[in-house]
Amino acid sequence: MIKSYLSKLIFNRWAAFLHDLFWVPATLFLAFWFRFNLQEIPAEFLNGFYRLLPLSLLVHAVIFRLFSLYRGIWRYASLPDLIRIVKAVLLGGLIVNLFAFIFFRLQGIPRTVLLLSPLFLIIGLAGTRLCYRLLKDRKLRLNKQEGVRTLVVGAGQAAELLLRDLLHKPEFQPVALVDDDPHKHKRELHGVRVYGGLDRIEEVVLLYEIGLVLLAIPSADPATIKKLVGECSRIGVRCKTLPSLAELSGDTVQADQLRAVTLEDLLGRDAVELDYRAIANYLEGKAVLVTGAGGSIGSELCRQIAGQQPSRLIILDHGEFNIYTIDHELRSSFPDLKIATVLGDVKNPDRVDWLFKEFAPQVVFHAAAYKHVPMIELNPAEGVINNVTGSKVVADAAHLYRAETFVLVSTDKAVNPANVMGTTKRIAEIYCQNLAKRSQTRFITTRFGNVLGSAGSVVPLFEKQILAGGPLTVTHPDITRYFMTIPESVGLILQAGAMGRGGEIFVLDMGEPMLIRELAEEMIRLSGLVPGQDIEIIYTGLRPGEKLFEEIFHERENLQKTNHPKLFLASSREVDWQWLQEELAALHRSASSRDISALIEHLRQIVPEYQGDRLNP
């Protein structure tokens, strides 16, 4: 098969080469003929033609090969091919003219011929390629009756490039364009007409029996995308989009790049600008430990850290399958990276101590935590032991073995906590902040809200409920949450690690909070369904420990700007160190003995703003 393809390719290139050489004598004769007004060429000048012909053939044969005129495929002939032809012909004509003057003193060769011949040759070479492409495109269009009838939204550069590719894909049949620019209305791109603005989508879809709508505006804002998705959902037609400008690379736009509209598109989070040099300065060539490496945040930390060329990446998780999954991914994606995979629990001081002795991590990202609010309300002792004692064990080891940097991954639920999970994370913040004052290790805390698609978050739950046909369960019609993408939040965690000097709490800019009810509606529309019609949304009531809205900083934390627009700084809270140690020891004893009443009292002692209810063991 490969041999047959190569033979065909070589044959086609030789055929194209001979075709181009044919045009050299043809256009040369045509130039002489035009010089004499399409009359008989006098014998003297006919001899000049015969003298010039072999020279022109030889020179142009060499020039055509040097300029790679046979690199392009005729079916896709375009402006770069025309430019190559013009350059080759002009250079060839210049050389022929020079040699004709040197060898023949231009005897019997009219000066007009030297100008007309290159012009005719350009027309001949480019014209045949253009005609071939037009014939192929016409044949393809006549045969494209089986592909899905497609409406392209947008008539700019990206749409033109996409449309060019769609016309050569049998699975698509582009029949119409819409664009809000009135200057483009009633015009055509590659034979496809622009029928009006985005307000005519429903009319065009019904009129031309459209089966697929493609958004070809990479710079489209969330409002435009949301409007399009809502319209497509309402009229029952599938919708896809090109990647955003940040995702597109190079100048190519192809049908293969089309993807479903995602929740991230609707949220419209701006691309985060990171100082990669500063990040590399504290990660490159260092032994880096990530706890909770198998989780949503931990695994993305591993991916981004691996790209910074650490000397070794140590991944720790107590879940066997989770750590196996990220280990396999990292070894496949970064075959040259030294990876130490440790199956263990942050609550086990012996295991953590062994890890620090064995691998001496210089940078630690502590992402291991229990984070599901209702589950920790039902199991408060386990939440305390994991989130408080586990964090203390890892932080103490980082201090004891003189790690350079320790980054605690915290949550907005630590602010004015109404649940045990948020309170345990707030205690971890307080401990790291105060340990930083007594340690050579830089202890830095990062705090942010929900991440889209993380394990246990509302997004995967809604996806399962949609697949099951609904209903979608929302706790309260007015409940709101902050959302970020996982890569965005992890990038800012790494940036905070580069900026912190020790003891700070960096608060990530979460943008505007979103109503969970609206999130549910958008996810239903993204599935091509209509909220309230195809899938119902029901309200189940707030769960134990759940707040209507989350806060990203306490009013007394005096939030300040940093030199990064997406990171803010919350002031630290200093407490008596001896008192804190005694309270943490008492809290751990209460958790170990499952004395929930004492546990709740110690939580309130350490975090006075915690106002949770008494819980069951």
Catalytic (active-site) positions: 413
Q: Given its phi and psi angles, is residue 511 left (phi above 0), alpha (psi -120 to 50 degrees) or beta?
A: left
Reference 53, options 90, 14, 26; nearest CA is 26
Reference 449, options 502, 519, 357; nearest CA is 519
* Gap between the Cα atoms of 309 and 299, Å rounded: 16
Strand order in the sheet with 287-291: 339-343, 312-317, 287-291, 363-366, 405-411, 442-448, 505-508, 567-570, 560-561
Residues linked to residue 365 through DSSP beta bridges, in sequence order: 290, 407
* Gap between the Cα atoms of 524 and 512, Å rounded: 21
Residues linked to residue 177 through DSSP beta bridges, in sequence order: 152, 194
Taking the CA of residue 243 as centre, how many other CA atoms within 13 Å lie in the half-sphere pointing to its CB? Answer: 14
Cα 281–chain centre separation: 25
- Neighbour tally for 550: CB within 10 Å: 23
> Would strands 238-241 and 259-260 be described as parallel, antiparallel, or unpaired?
antiparallel
* Gap between the Cα atoms of 475 and 461, Å rounded: 13
φ, ψ at 273 (rounded to 5°): -90, 120
* Gap between the Cα atoms of 439 and 398, Å rounded: 9
The helix (run of H) or strand (run of E) holding residue 464 is helix 458-467
* Gap between the Cα atoms of 58 and 541, Å rounded: 86
Which tokens hold the place of 117?
A: 């011949």
Reference 329, options 286, 366, 354, 299; nearest CA is 299
The helix (run of H) or strand (run of E) holding residue 289 is strand 287-291
Which tokens hold the place of 591?
A: 């958790």
Burial degree of 58 (CB within 10 A; 0-12, 13-18, 19+): middle
Q: What is the DSSP string of 55-81?
A: HHHHHHHHHHHHTTTTSS-GGG--HHH
Reference 364, options 298, 416, 452; nearest CA is 298
Using CA atoms, how far residue 61 sits from 16, 24, 32, 79, 589, in Å, is 12, 9, 21, 22, 90
φ, ψ at 274 (rounded to 5°): -115, 150
Per-position b or e across 565-590, b if 16+ CB within 10 A of its CB: ebbbbbbbeeeeeeebeebbebbbeb
* Gap between the Cα atoms of 288 and 521, Å rounded: 41
Q: Per the omega criterion (within 30 degrees of 0), is the bond before 471 cis?
A: yes
